[in-house]
A and B are shown apart, each in its own frame.
Chain A
Amino acid sequence: MLSIHPSNFHLKMTSIPRVIPILVVVVSVALSPALFGQVDFARDIRPILNANCTECHGGVKAAGNVSFVYEDRVVNFNGKSDYTVVVPGSLEESELFFRITTDDEDDRMPPPDEHESLSSEEIDLIKQWIEEGAKWSEHWAFERPRKPPVPETAFDDQAQGDLDHFLFRRLEEERLEPSPLESPGRLLRRLSLSLTGLPPELLELEIFERDYARDPQQAVEDAVDDLMSRPAFGERWATMWLDLVRYADSGGLGQDQKRTIWAYRDWVVKAFNDDLPFDQFTIKQLAGDLLPKPSLEDLIATACQRNTQTNDEGGTDDEVFRVEAVVDRINTTWQTWGSVTFACAQCHDHPYDPLRNADYYSFMDFYNNTADSDLQKDEPFVKVPKDRDRYEEAMALRDQILNLKEGIWDRGISLRDKTKWQGLKQLSVKANNNTEYEVVEKPIHDEFQTVGTVATKTHTIIEVPQTSFGEKPVTALQLTVLPFDPENSVHSPEWGFLIDDVVAKVMGEDGSVTDFCFKWSVPDVPYLPTEPMKLIGKNGAGWGADSRIHYARKLVLVPEQPLELKTGDTVSLHIHCNKTGHGSHPMAIQRGNLATSSDKRWTRFGGWKSKEYRLQREMIQAVDRLNDIPGTTVPIMANRPEELARPTHVFERGNAMEKGDQIFAALPDSLTKVARAPKSLDRLSMAEWWVSDNHPLTSRVFVNRLWEQLFGVGIVPTLEDFGSSGEKPTHPELLDYLAVRFQKNHNWSVKAVLREMVLSHAFQQSSRVTPDLVALDPDNRLLARGPRLRLTAEMVRDQSLAVSGLLSSRLGGPPVHPPLPEGVWRPFLSRDLWETPERGEEDRYRRSIYTYIKRSIPFPSFASFDAPSREFCTPRRLTSNTPLQALVTLNDETFVECAEELGRKLESSFSDAPELGLSQGYRLVTGRAANEARLEALTQLYEEVNMKSSETAWTVVAQVLLNLDETLTF
């Protein structure tokens, strides 16, 4: 039974017109007390400055050098006019006070012709602030949270935990009161959908109601523990996270190709199910690859930041999109963990918050040296076995392969460095096509470079006369490839080159031609997935700088036998570069030189008795074994080797094409004042910093997200902005209490903090509301009633599948392709297929989280119910209510199938008592019993349709059940 909500507001409703929103009340409440107590800068003064002054004296523009964002640009600071802006304790000496009070229109601030003057209350506050010593305090979100004492309230007997005390205190202040408890059936439905995204079954409702009658508190606690232990829990909460980290199964721009990254999605589901503490959850995703001895799962976690968009359209510039991805990673990190609009600092200092333009680029340095670079195959990636039991084996093989590669490379590189190289001169260089080369003499060697248009599929043909080599046999050659513009390319890399074959010959004076082969090659870095280092061979595996070059690159080529050159011989190398970047840019050698050596050690090097030969055999075996393990791959984060590190430069006015000063990794001062910066700064320590002891943002931000998922509105309603231009928390003490509890008492356990939230009276109270309360608090920010939310896009579908008995409970795996309206799937690439499983096949009925997410073709029913298409971090979904949603749940193939199944289920279970079927059906979708009137309405419909077409009667009734307002809300 529903409990009735008391409408006895103590508030005199007549004195406050209904139109006055809570917000205005809140603002006035916030301002008034200061006049009697101490002024608090952050609470009382900054809002005035932000509203009236910072547009000219702020982060974007600091007229007269004065910026009200920073203390040191205000207090005891002399602006351009040489007057001190604020002198603590002295109104006479404080230019600010003079400017806001003077009658002289030329001096008056804000300028009277453009802006309203400050009100006398505002002026009084500023006056009081200066007189009290002009104490600066940071915006609340930039100060560390401290656990406040739990307040006492008149409603304490209804409180079910500390949280309620904070909420009730506010209700008391607003002269409201909490609602009575929700009926048990509806409560279980709310708990079940909130925690697992699925509704309870009839039997579960029955058992819960029985237990609840015995001991309500125990029944609720047991239910919560049970729900949180189900795998469905992780599937529900992962969705929230995947919105933030913009998870999708396709690349985005261009052809929006398929991206195989679902192992990451499964990692997130498992992390929630295993209750992986949020600090580890954070560190692994941002820098799992840099952990000492990372596990395979640690690497999979780093795919978090590989969900950026890539562009594989023909004729695009990989470097542009690599930089875009880096920018997106920065913005997503700050948005997801910090709820700060750091993106504003890309072009200028943040207009309101103490985040400087330089902070943005210092932070960029953390992300600028990863190995991915907008390549089509999403390199680098890692093998993920299907069978979780083989993770360790796969990881051990991977380590072995990398160690062997490094060992082999080490041997080559140390010999290379010990070798005396002699630069080659008298080169003649040409190409197989229209590309032209010229040769420039340099002191040590000749250097060749292209002239004019470079054609695709250029083979660079280098010919060197015997006289250039000298008398001794040639044991090794060293090719150096340089950027065309070596200086500029360091910060703005050029298109690179990729050698896929080298054909070598010795041409005699007499016209004879002798081919020779290379038995070994030594690249300049051991391995780098985006810059293939494999041996050059006929199999197409090549070496080069793919797709960008910004430093000189070197490769040693070791001939099978030392070359014994005769007088008049010419050595000819055909270096094939057949690849193009995005179908247009020739990956050709644009500048380079050649050196030779007669060091005898190269003769033995790589021979079949050598150590490196043996290591190589071992490596090939290990690679084969790894390939044999069935599984998938996932793109990961990996750093480039230090010798190829990209320097980070400030972008002038945010434009990547205009590089300013070089800048190094750092964290914003305004935050490191509170959460100290680690000593050594790299991506790992940056990740650790986010979850360090005093961090003012991370814990607050995350508990706020959980709160919003449960209650529909965050304690800070602007989930996306905790900065001073966002909304203030409705319950600041509660936010801090939860943040500290989460971090310190629960040790970052998501389940523990969620448990505390759902066990509150606030969550368990009735959602019934009176018109007066709606008018006062339309968003239910004060929680004088329980939450009443529309199901998310995923829940709408999953619930229908669940109640009709169709839902598959299989966890994880590759994305699936449930029914899609005809004609929707028209991908740019025709090979990108949407193959829907037939009726009865399990993959047709998987939970929505497993549906293939293609960014350019969002799944229609999800899009209608406000699921984002995951291009960027989506901090919160806005809920709409449209006729197109009605068409989905009434007519979409999946929902029709669910209605048919639900109808069949009810019909067969209650064949001799249709009325019972109707009432049970109603209970199944709403969690409560149907009253007389409802049952009558349903019966009438059933009978009416049954007369016209008996075979559809149950389907039609089931459609009504699936479309009830109560069914679509929880």
Chain B
Amino acid sequence: MNLETLLDEARLRSLKRQTRRQFLSQCTTGLGAMFLAGQAQAASGGGSMPHHDPSNPLSALEPHFPGKAKRVIYLHMIGAPSQLELFDYKPDLQQLDGQACPQSFLEGKNFAFIQGTPNMLGPQFPFQQYGDSGAWVSDRLPHFSEVVDDVSFIKTLQTDQFNHGPAQLMVHSGQPRIGHPSIGAWTTWGLGTENADLPGFVVLLSGGRIPRVGKALWGSGFLPSVYQGVQCRSFGDPVLNVANPEAITRDVRRSALDTLKNLNEQTHEDFGDPETLTRIAQYEMAFRMQMAVPDAMDIEKEPSHVHELYGTEPGKESFANNCLLARRLVERGVRYVQLFDWGWDSHGAGMAEALNGGFQDKCREVDQPMAALIKDLKARGLLEDTLVVWSGEFGRTPMRENRGGVEMKLVGRDHNPGAFTSWMAGGGVKPGITYGETDEVGYSPAVNPVPLEDYHATMLHLLGYEHKKFNFPFQGLNRRLTGVKDARVIHDLIA
């Protein structure tokens, strides 16, 4: 644990206490009471807590300082795509292809599947430079290569987890174990949402299984549960239970809610509990949500040129559909949209997850829609204050996987927490640059490593938060997304 950070945090404590308590006393209803309980737990805080309207825990708020990003779309490729086949071009690795891996690469390292001494594996696809920025992109991403000038690459992202579950949690909550709030939860806790009729934090899956740690990737951890992500779906109810039971029409529901409101108002007169008023408001919001959510989730209304741009097919569960939905949602004021695509774990143990197999299909599935998302947001003037982030949960090794100590039939790479590529666009990010450089084989950072806590600190900064001051007391510590280690904002990435 870094002492300086703890101390910085502690330093702010006594200053803030008095004023915050006075504010919180005004929050007489559930959330206010909750914050009061939370803040009083430690004689602590360090930084300012978001102060939501007591009757609406998702009321839109201003951050610590004006943030350049007002909302976020995070595209996570579950399984960890190979940076060496997409963005991190390594001609030297080509020279080493097939040779035994030097021992220095292996000492003190943990691998999920590599045994003993594996062989090096050169890039599997040709690369070319694109745009004014001259960014290197492989031939697997022809559409994406058109938008590289709007994008900023981080080539040296690092994590300390080499298994999927913990590493995915690291990316989204800054901790490798379940039980900590996700970035989306932190963000909606801080900023609330701009459209009360929609959830503030929406999660979209490309279909198939849910990620292995499940809802923990969009959980609220120790933050109030109202800030957890709400999964929206392109089949069935777009949000759980949003549709009335078959026999109940909308006007019958309206009558029922009117009666409910009437009775609840009488209850409030009888008992005087402000929580009753909040409940009345929440039922009304639910009623509006029943209209607003299906409307937002219905992509059929989009004109055909938009469908062509994204490659969408209404009614399907797909990454393309979700990219278009993400745009529709942020357009309507949703604060944080989290997309999960999956099938990127290119070990080479089976055809679906081999670099010379399923990997190429995955590239085709995401290339056009993610490029379309950037183009579309830009055309609508939304890109400047919408932060789009793309990443996996770790990188892949420059060595070829040799599961069980033998050469495998298909080509794949093992997990590499040492370096992976992420890109960001919009939301105040400096476009057309590359930050950080990996060594000649793309194994570990050579220049400007970016640990995840720096990455998180930078995202929070773009949103207007000083990461050290954005915290919540839990189990004796002021918890924050960036954890207890020292984290720094990467100003070079910011426009």
Contact = CB atoms under 8 A, between A and B. Distances in A.
Contacts of A454: 115-116, 405
B303 interface: no
Contact of A116 (B15, B117, B290): B15
A294 interface: no
Contact of A883 (B27, B216, B282): B282
Interface in B385-425: 402-406, 415
A945 B230 CA distance: 33
Contacts of A347: 1, 484
A315 interface: yes
B406 to A, nearest CB: 6
B117 A51 contact: no
B263 A964 contact: yes
Contacts of A721: 41-42, 475-476
Contact of B476 (A725, A879, A941, A948): A725
A769 B271 contact: yes
A857 B214 contact: yes
A944 B415 CA distance: 64
Given A51-B13, A871-B177, A964-B264, A956 B240 contact: no
Contacts of A882: 57, 225-226, 282
Interface in B1-41: 1, 3, 6-7, 10-11, 13-15, 17-18, 21-22, 24-34, 36-38, 40-41
A956 B260 CA distance: 11
B26 to A, nearest CB: 6
A470 interface: no
B286 A884 contact: yes
B240 to A, nearest CB: 5
B259 interface: yes
A822 B279 contact: no
Contact of B163 (A22, A313, A941, A952): A313
A888 B405 contact: no
A252 B169 CA distance: 13
B44 A725 contact: yes
Contact of B212 (A313, A343, A879): A313
A713 B18 CA distance: 22
A153 interface: no
Contact of B475 (A335, A821, A885): A335
Nearest to A316: B163
Contacts of A438: none
Chain B CB within 10 Å, residue with most, of A47, A823, A887: A887
B40 A727 contact: yes
A56 interface: yes
A951 B247 contact: yes
Given A253-B166, A455-B115, A821 B271 contact: no
A307 interface: no
B110 interface: yes
Nearest to A945: B252
A778 B32 contact: yes
Interface in B250-306: 252-253, 255-256, 258-260, 262-264, 266-268, 270-276, 278-280, 282-283, 285-286, 289-290
A586 B111 CA distance: 13
Interface stretch (B69-77, B91-99, B231-239, B455-463): B231-239
A569 interface: no
Contacts of B255: 941, 944-945, 956
Contacts of B214: 256, 855-857
Interface string A446-473: 0000001111110000000000000000
A61 B34 contact: no
A620 interface: no
Nearest to B262: A937
B279 A965 contact: yes
Contact of A826 (B18, B209, B224): B209
A856 B210 contact: yes
A21 B475 contact: no
A779 B249 CA distance: 39
Interface in A879-926: 879-888, 890-892, 896
Contact of A881 (B11, B249, B278, B477): B278
B307 to A, nearest CB: 24
B31 A880 contact: yes
Contacts of B285: 883, 886
A302 B190 CA distance: 41
Contacts of A720: 41, 474-475
A857 B210 contact: yes
B286 A887 contact: yes
Given A55-B7, A871-B216, A934-B266, A718 B40 contact: yes
B165 interface: yes
Contact of A584 (B30, B113, B237, B476): B113
B495 interface: no
Interface in A333-351: 335, 341, 343-344, 347-348, 350-351
A968 B272 CA distance: 16
Contact of B25 (A21, A871, A890): A21
Contacts of B44: 725
Contacts of A857: 210, 214-215
Given A324-B177, A343-B475, A768 B270 contact: yes
A857 B205 CA distance: 14
B218 to A, nearest CB: 11
Contacts of B199: 884
B50 interface: no
A455 B405 contact: yes
Given A315-B163, A960-B259, A883 B286 contact: yes
Interface in A1-45: 2, 19-24
A584 B112 contact: yes
Contact of A774 (B17, B226, B242, B274): B274
A255 interface: yes
A45 B36 CA distance: 24
Nearest to B7: A55
A453 B215 contact: no
Interface in A396-413: none
A248 B42 CA distance: 29
A956 B274 CA distance: 26
Contacts of A256: 212-214
A955 B252 CA distance: 11
Contacts of A350: 476
B446 interface: no
A435 interface: yes
Contacts of B484: 347
B37 A52 contact: no
B42 to A, nearest CB: 5
A887 B242 contact: yes
B412 to A, nearest CB: 13
A76 B403 CA distance: 64
Nearest to B272: A769
A547 interface: no
B179 interface: yes
22 contacts: A51-B17, A253-B165, A253-B177, A256-B212, A453-B115, A456-B404, A584-B115, A720-B475, A769-B271, A790-B275, A822-B237, A823-B236, A824-B240, A855-B216, A878-B225, A881-B29, A883-B283, A886-B282, A890-B286, A949-B247, A963-B260, A968-B279
Closest 5 CB pairs of A and B: A453-B116, A315-B112, A856-B214, A341-B476, A455-B405
Interface of A: 2, 19-24, 47, 50-52, 55-56, 60-61, 114-116, 252-256, 309, 311, 313-317, 324, 335, 341, 343-344, 347-348, 350-351, 433-435, 452-457, 580, 583-584, 586, 653-654, 713, 717-718, 720-721, 723, 725-727, 767-771, 774-775, 778-779, 788, 790, 821-824, 826-828, 855-858, 860, 863-864, 866, 869, 871-872, 878-888, 890-892, 896, 933-934, 937-938, 940-941, 944-945, 948-949, 951-952, 955-956, 959-960, 963-966, 968-969
Given A19-B25, A879-B34, 12 more contacts: A55-B6, A252-B178, A311-B163, A344-B476, A453-B116, A779-B36, A821-B240, A822-B236, A857-B210, A869-B219, A871-B179, A892-B241
